[in-house]
Amino acid sequence: MDLTAFEVEVQISESYADDLAIGMQAEIRAGSETFESTLVAVSPEIISNQVTGRVRFNAKVPEGLRQNQRLTTRILLEEKFDVTMVQRGQFFDSGNGRVAYVVEDGMARRRSITAGATSLSSIEILQGLAPGERIVISSTDLFNSADAVLINN
């Protein structure tokens, strides 16, 4: 057994299974250090709503690594540069991902948007907002689809 060629077994939610591909870049965190790695295998079998993958270190392997040790792994599904992003909030569900209320001069004005990629914390905006504009990220259900709403602090 070659212990210098460690691979990390990862459990991935089945909702990401279609987006996975051999060769994707990943990061493995051991302690306070992050190590570059690559996804080298993905099981076609779904067990308990998860697929199993294997990630291999690209170069440096953490010292003192041992079998059955738990590590944190992040697989980079997609990387985008120079995009407009907003914080994910209840507004996205309230407007079915197609409406945002832009705050200007004490008013929140309804605007159509086109959303792109989403993560747990952010939403990419393809159309409808410009960088630097402020929006209401809380639920907008109480706005009843009004074109404008007065903001009262």
pLDDT in tens, 35-79: 999 999 999 999 999 999 999 999 888 888 888 888 999 998 888
pTM > 0.75:
no
Mean pLDDT value of segment 15-31: 91
Average pLDDT over residues 123-146: 94
- Residue-level pLDDT at 62: 84
For domain 7-75, give the CATH number: 2.40.30.170
Q: What is the pLDDT of residue 2?
A: 59
pLDDT band at 101 (very low <50, low <70, confident <90, very high): very high
Q: What is the pLDDT of residues 108-127, one digit of tens each?
A: 999 999 999 888 789 999 99
- 131 or 118, which is more confident? 131
Check whether 3 has a pLDDT greater than 80: no
Instruction: From 26, 50, 48, select the one nearest 38 (Cα to Cα).
Output: 26
Q: Return residue ranges of the chain for CATH 2.40.30.170.
A: 7-75
The whole-angstrom separation of Cα 36 and Cα 25 is 7
Report, as an integer, the average pLDDT of 103-110: 95
CA 36 distance to own-chain centroid: 18
